[in-house]
Amino acid sequence: MKKKILSLLLALVMALSLVPTSVLAAPVDLGKAHVIVENTTFTKPVDGKAPAWTGTLVDTWVKLTGDSTMMGCVFEALDAKGYTHTGTTYISEINGLSELDGGSASGWMGTLNDWFTNEGFAAFTVAAGTLEAGDEIRVMYTRAYGDDLGGSWNNNDTTVKALTFSDGQLSPTFHKDTDSYTLKLSSKVSSVQVTPTATNKNFQVRTSVDGTEYKRTAKIPVADGTVITVKCGDPSWPSMNKDAEAHEYKITVSQEAPAAVKVTLRSQMVGAYLHAPQEVEVSALEAEKYGFTDALEGVTALDALVKAHELVFGEAFTKETAGEYLAVGSSGWISKIFGVETYACGFFVNQGYPNDGTPASYGGGYNGTMVTNTPLLSGDVVDFYVYADDSTWSDYYTWVDAPAEMYVGQKVTATVTGFYASSAYLHKTPAELKAAAKPLEGAKLGWVDPETGAVTVIEGAVTDKKGQATFTVADGFTGYLTAVSNEDEGVYALMNPTAKVKEIPMVTLDLKGLHSAQLASLKLYSYAGGVKGDVDLLAGKSTVADGYKLKYADVKLPVGNYWVQGYNEAGQYNGGIVVTVAEDTTAITFQRVYAIYATNNGWIENTDYTIDYQVVSADGMNRKAEPGTSTNWGTTRTSGIFVEGDTLKATLTPVGDKAADYNPITVKKSRSETTDKGALDLTAKIPVAVPVTVTAPAGSTVSMGEFGNYYVYDFAKPLSTKTEGDTMTVTFLLSETSVNHFLRVQHPDGVTYWTFGKYKAGATFNVTKDDLHIGDESFTKDTVNRFNKNVYDLGNVYLNINQKGYLNLEQGQTRELDVFRC
């Protein structure tokens, strides 16, 4: 029989024509989380104080990484919009709206998938598996410790108060005490989004189908008869409330069968595909068109099998000749397939054994379905196969675990697992079948050509006892890696290629900017997923002359991120940073900050102050940066490295007995100051703290800070704000400065008050209603550009733009425009 099959394959090689590149599977990444920040509870003034803002402030998706946390996602979403936030493990303020602003029980709370978490946001992480793609993070302002947001410690109500669907008609109308429903859908709907809302959000509510849970942001695949389960308050799930019983709802989908679907077909025989794996449209009448009969109204696996024969045999496959290639009995048994008479064949749907979900009466496992009564839906992947081992049917259905990205020349290890296809009936779902697969020894690896289906075996890539094989990626790379049979070892593999592996382009570049008297040498490591590699990719490579400087020339690297460590001539580690090599990168020029320190007389780093060194790339991304040390003229200081064109920041923070009387200071170097300037230093004197107190009418917005060169305002954050009756008191900790301080007070019912000067420690200011002209009828919106029209100032002459009428801003910077009416 094998010779007959091989002859058929040889004949098919000449007949196969090229078809469009197929979709074998989608690339996998960590996905995104949905972040929403809103204030729907504090919408009117409380005790004379209006909310800083209302409604939805942020509604966006944040890309997840291996280091992502719930709290980090919230901060990333706020930072992307330029909104302020205070707190690291607890949020006390967002964009000017602080805890207690809306009353004694007010503040910020949040939910994960509509559930008030039982731990802080920082505890939910991608690394721990408690934060995943599709999760919804909602941060909300409360005025009642969460009761006004749907979370309560006063009851154990586990009902669902609302249940909505993205499509369809629910019958009967939802009520929290009714447990069973029917959802009627049109035949064109293949998935629905289910959004349940718990009566008490201290309890989780989850949605599942056949044990598979779906996020509230996810589309759930459905078909006629699908049963959707919505459960709230399962005692085994985390909750801040105890001793509750779960409440469960069942929704059964009612749907007409579709007239046609789009599925991916893959047909294989003796270790080769008979046609290119590809997505095709299959009609519910495909089988009938050629004289075959199935048992369902919609599209069945038999319709898809007939379509596969069309792909393989083309015009030779007609209604009159169909019986020469395919024979299917009334019970659904196949006795001839792809022109070969055999019962040694089968099919899988979505990498699983087709079954009706009912346990088999004998032999274990589940009752399988035949090609005649297996329904198909759009998006399904259907594998038709003929066993290579036609005597004992020992072929394994296989899965390949390999890196999602590769580059030519890279050494890669892939792992193959497999399960006897003839025993797949033991497992109900594709996920259960894959979980039961074991490492497969002796299988070969190969690349599948997505345009022809041809398989190229990778020389020397044979799996060991762990199912692993290591190989070097060569020019035959196609992106689709599969296990291949190894007849010499008696190992037969049914192919199930990986999702498309992304090919990483190789780049040749120079690493420049080195000098024997400054940054003299580098070490370079891979940096993926926040993890530094072990191998120095510059080992054995020497620098060459680059004018009066040095460089590493013609360094070949795949596109990606790298960790770079810099050293001076003496071998001291000057610091490290992450850099990105893109497809268009031809050179990266490095430099160093040879000294970072406070100039205060006698102050010692880590005793009197600490240093936080930050590097921002030219495209506005914060580089991971690590300081080092460098000895210059006999003195050892903290140092760092950077790429020319980066923006540098060093924050010097007083500690110990200096903390109370001094303020932190941040020293910056702009992009223009780090380009073609050579090595730099970052130094400053840490300023004396100047405590100041301001009283003003309640409801005012009080701002203080420094008024510096080029009319730039540097705003300080208030230490405290307290309102008693119709008066508010605000304290600031300003810094001693050689320029001027300023005070600005704004009120929605008055004008804006300004004053300037060099303030001393302990200074107090009392701004009155008269100062703000509150209630003064001579000041109206027709005579003064009031606060309700311009939230900053009075008029239209800009004070904080330089004399030439412009102000340079770095990417990501913001600048408040202050004006004066003259």
What confidence score (pLDDT) does residue 594 get?
97
DSSP H stretches of helix in 753-812 = 769-772
Three-state DSSP class for 666?
Answer: strand
CATH topology of domain 396-500: Immunoglobulin-like (2.60.40)
pLDDT at 760 over 70: yes
**Quick one: pLDDT at residue 596?**
98
pLDDT in tens, 243-271: 888 999 999 999 888 889 999 999 999 88
Query: Which range among 122-126, 240-244, 569-573 has the greatest average pLDDT?
Result: 569-573
Q: What is each CA distance from 404 to 28, 188, 278, 430, in whole angstroms?
A: 7, 33, 21, 21
Distance CA 543, CA 181 (A): 73
User: Given this chain, do its domains 2-9+258-386 and 32-149 carry the same CATH topology?
Assistant: yes
Question: How far apart are the C-alpha atoms of 337 and 292, rounded to whole Å?
Answer: 13
Q: What is the pLDDT of residues 481-503, one digit of tens each?
A: 999 999 999 999 999 999 999 99
Residue burial 426-457, b: 16+ Cβ < 10 Å; e: rest: bbbbbeebbeebeebbbbbbbbbbbeebbbeb
CA 406, 450, 277, 134 torsion-angle sign: positive
Contact between 685 and 677 (Cβ < 8 Å): no
What is the CATH number assigned to the segment(s) 32-149?
A: 2.170.130.30
Residue 577: Cβ within 10 Å count: 22
The answer to whether residue 25 scores a pLDDT higher than 90 is no
- Is the per-residue pLDDT at 20 higher than 70? no
Length of the chain, in residues: 822
pLDDT at 256: 84
Domain ranges of the chain: 2-9+258-386, 32-149, 161-255, 396-500, 506-684, 689-820
What DSSP string runs through 25-86? -------EEEEEEEE-S--S-BTTB--S--EEEEEEEEE--TT-BHHHHHHHHHHHHT--EE
Contact status, residue 265 vs residue 384, Cβ threshold 8 Å: yes
Cβ-count burial 366-405 (b if 16+ within 10 Å, e if not): beebbbbbbbbbbebbbbbbbbbbbeebebbbbbbebbeb
**DSSP assignment string, 362-378:** SSSSEEE--TTT-B--T
Question: Are 364 and 436 within 8 A, CB to CB?
Answer: no
Q: Annotate 107-133 with three-state secondary structure.
A: EEEEEECCEECCCCHHHCECCCCCCCC
Strand residues in 502-543 grouped as ranges (E): 502-503, 506-514, 521-528, 531-532
pLDDT tens digits for 722-743?
Answer: 999 999 999 999 999 988 999 9
197-222 per-residue burial string, b: 16 or more CB within 10 A, e: under 16: ebbbbbbbbbbebeeeebbbbeebbb
For residue 815, name the pLDDT band (cuts at 50, 70, 90). Answer: low
3-class SS of residue 618:
coil
d(CA 412, CA 472): 6
Q: Where are the beta strands (DSSP E) in 617-752?
A: 622-623, 625-632, 635-643, 647-654, 665-669, 680-684, 689-697, 701-707, 713-716, 720-724, 727-735, 740-746
The listed CATH number (2.60.40, 2.60.120, 3.40.50, 2.30.30) that belongs to domain 161-255? 2.60.40
The CATH fold of domain 2-9+258-386: Ferric Hydroxamate Uptake Protein; Chain A, domain 1 (2.170.130)
CA pair distance 748, 703, nearest whole angstrom: 15
Which residue type sits at 77? A
What's the mean pLDDT when you consider all of the chain? 89
Q: Where does 331-432 show beta strands of DSSP type E?
A: 334-337, 340-341, 345-349, 355-359, 366-368, 381-386, 396-401, 405-406, 411-420
* Residue range 585-607, pLDDT digits in tens: 999 999 999 999 999 999 999 99
The CA distance from 244 to 204, in Å, is 12
Phi then psi for residue 714, to 5 deg, are -110, 105
**Do 301 and 328 contact (CB within 8 A), yes or no?**
no
Q: What is the average pLDDT across 551-577?
A: 96
The Cα angle at residue 246 between residues 41 and 109, in degrees rounded to 5:
25
- Whether 822 shows a pLDDT value over 60: the answer reads no
Q: Are 690 and 716 in contact (CB under 8 A)?
A: no
pLDDT in tens, 768-806: 999 998 988 876 655 544 434 344 444 444 445 544 444
